[in-house]
Structure 1
Amino acid sequence: MATITLPTWVTLTRLFAVPILLVGMEQPGLLPTWVPLVVFLLAAATDWLDGWLARRLNQVSDLGKVLDPLVDKLLVLAPLLVLVAQQVVPTWAVFLILARELTIAGWRVNQPKISGANLWGKLKTVVQIAAIALLLPPLSPRFLPLGLGCFWIAVALTLISGWTYLRPSKTT
């Protein structure tokens, strides 16, 4: 059994933040409106932190390479599904994001070597996080156009990054 390293623990804190985020988004009277935004931004920051720690402490692991992108997907898809229910973003666009994520996760399972995200995948994640943050209360009314703009850029980057993983590699 693999030892759980500090970077992996940081990844797990991001996972544990998802239910808190969802409760705050679905039950706006239960928590102050800024709590989901703060939880989301702190959880998103751990995505950078766990990678930095893994490299700095020389604790890059196969478990981390699998768990990190999976938790990233949950952190992004969970609030997007709530935003669909709240009719902030269209269902079909979130479906495209979900389809890409499931396709790439399935593709990665069949790879002989576990690899990290490429530049397009990292850029996609950053823009998705920015879009969600801008669409969450208390920012959403003021930043709705900017948030929706980021959301549509995120959808485009999601499709582009998916293509970069799945396109046939050129052999020369």
Structure 2
Amino acid sequence: MNLPNTITFSRIILIIPILWCMYQSIEVYQWWAWGLFLIASLTDWLDGYLARRLNQVTDLGKFLDPLTDKILVIAPLLVLIERQIIPAWGVFLILLREITIAGWRVNPQQKNVSGANLWGKFKTVTQIGAIALLLLPKYPWALSTGIIVFWLSVILTMVSGLIYLMPSSNQH
């Protein structure tokens, strides 16, 4: 396993302490969850950068990176549902898009399967931004702003999915 793939895999490992910290009642653990989530999110950029820079783009990385992104986003969203901070149906729309696009990408009848387009990248950034804001433990403005960014991410998630599935978007 090369360095970029190792970094990608570290994101999966970081999800465990993020979730553990989210379930602790002491505020310092909420800050740890927030910090670890930001570190894990930044490694998404780092592994892609290194893969391209070091010419280490692999099929494993192409598979593992988007899967890891989805796990990193969905895991804290599920805890936020449980805390009744965000509604399950909003997260369901995100999951629906992610499962649909993942299935579309592995469809053997797809002749030209592509990676994320610019809309997909915007979607991921807003999802990460919403989660980061909603994980902040002490700031009321972060909660209200996080809810707004969450709904923006739901909209971008649906738009990016529709654009990805449109026949003319095969170029991505």
TM-score by structure 2 length?
0.91
Once the two structures are overlaid, the 10-residue window that deviates more, 125-134 or 135-144, is 135-144
3-state SS, counterpart of residue 159 of structure 2: helix
Deviation at 1:58, TM superposition (A): 0.5
8 Å contact from structure 1 (residues 132, 151) kept in 2: yes
3-state SS, counterpart of residue 88 of structure 1: coil
Q: In 1, Cα distance between the equivalents of 2:157 and 2:30?
A: 28
**Which residue does the alignment assign to 2:130?**
131
Task: Spell out the pairing of 1:3-152 with structure 2 (5 A cutoff).
Answer: 4-29=1-26, 32-110=29-107, 111-112=110-111, 115-139=114-138, 141-152=140-151
Amino acid corresponding to residue 151 of structure 1 in structure 2: F
8 Å contact from structure 2 (residues 27, 137) kept in 1: no
**Which residue does the alignment assign to 2:166?**
167
What is the Cα-based RMSD across aligned positions, in Å?
A: 1.8
Q: In 1, Cα distance between the equivalents of 2:17 and 2:139?
A: 19
Q: In 1, Cα distance between the equivalents of 2:169 and 2:128?
A: 32
Q: In 2, Cα distance between the equivalents of 1:85 and 1:163?
A: 28
Unaligned runs of 5+ in 2: none
Deviation at 1:144, TM superposition (A): 1.0
3-state SS, counterpart of residue 169 of structure 1: helix
Deviation at 1:141, TM superposition (A): 2.8
TM-score by structure 1 length?
0.91
Deviation at 1:140, TM superposition (A): 5.1
CA 1:25–1:57 in 2, change beyond 3 Å: closer, same or farther? same
Q: In 2, Cα distance between the equivalents of 1:39 and 1:161?
A: 27
8 Å contact from structure 2 (residues 163, 169) kept in 1: no
Identity of aligned residues (%): 57
Deviation at 1:32, TM superposition (A): 2.4
Amino acid corresponding to residue 119 of structure 1 in structure 2: L
Please give the per-residue CA displacement for 1:124-161, whole angstroms capped at 9, x wherever unaligned.
00010000000003255331111111101000000001
